[in-house]
Amino acid sequence: MWRDTARLGLLLMAAIHVTGWREGWLYEKATAAAPTVWTTVDTSQDLTYTASAEVILRVTADSAQYDSTAYTVKVYTDALAYATAKTVTLDVPQGNGNSRTDYFNLAVSGGYGSVSATNTIEAGHHRARFAHEQQVELERSLGCIFDYSGTLFRGVESGRTDTKQMEEGGILEGYDVTITTSRKQWADQNMRPLVGAVLTRGGKRFKVETVVTNDGAFELGLMKKHG
């Protein structure tokens, strides 16, 4: 009797969970039988399956992403615990920094789940990948190195404006510089540039006045610090 009850509970329990939705991202689903009919996923709860299904999931981020987890597929195993069967990420260098569409063949048998097949149907946006690759190539061929909080980053100096101000005791010369720096290297360090921070380039200290975020790079507006 106890075994029958436990068996029934296992069969009724969701064998597969799709979880880990990101706030502000759009998630849509379709089936293999109707691949052009999309419905929005309710991200306030997991997407669950108690029976086998062929599912297509599409995720669209609110901006270009670098190795960011979009969601995970967890399956109930014979170890009587859920295990991660698939982790779906968005990553500009892979050509899917903004969105991707994946097919899953989800199998449920005896209350246990598995992912028997997966396939990435569509990836985007390739323009972001091209912007990233172009920035990296510029850094390699024309770039500079700068120190930000003890970490070295590559960048490309793309503009300089010289200024002169009358100060007590004479003329104070200064200049503003714009540096573009590929976003992936910052993501690899789990960092991002902040307005007000100070970086060092060529022995000179600069204050970050502005940060413009593009798909492939950060554009840093710098002002030389005196003293």
Q: Evaluate if residue 30 carries a pLDDT over 50.
A: yes
Q: How confident is the model at residue 43 (pLDDT cuts 50, 70, 90)?
A: very high
Alpha-helical regions (H) of the chain: 2-12, 126-142, 183-188
The residue type at 221: G
Cα–Cα dist 7/214, whole Å: 53
Structure confidence at residue 22 (pLDDT): 97
Q: Which domains does the chain have, with CATH numbers?
A: 2-124 (no CATH), 128-224 (2.40.10.370)
- Paired with 93 in beta bridges are none
Q: Evaluate if residue 10 carries a pLDDT over 60.
A: no
Q: State pLDDT tens for residues 96-143.
A: 999 999 999 999 999 999 998 899 988 877 788 888 999 999 999 999
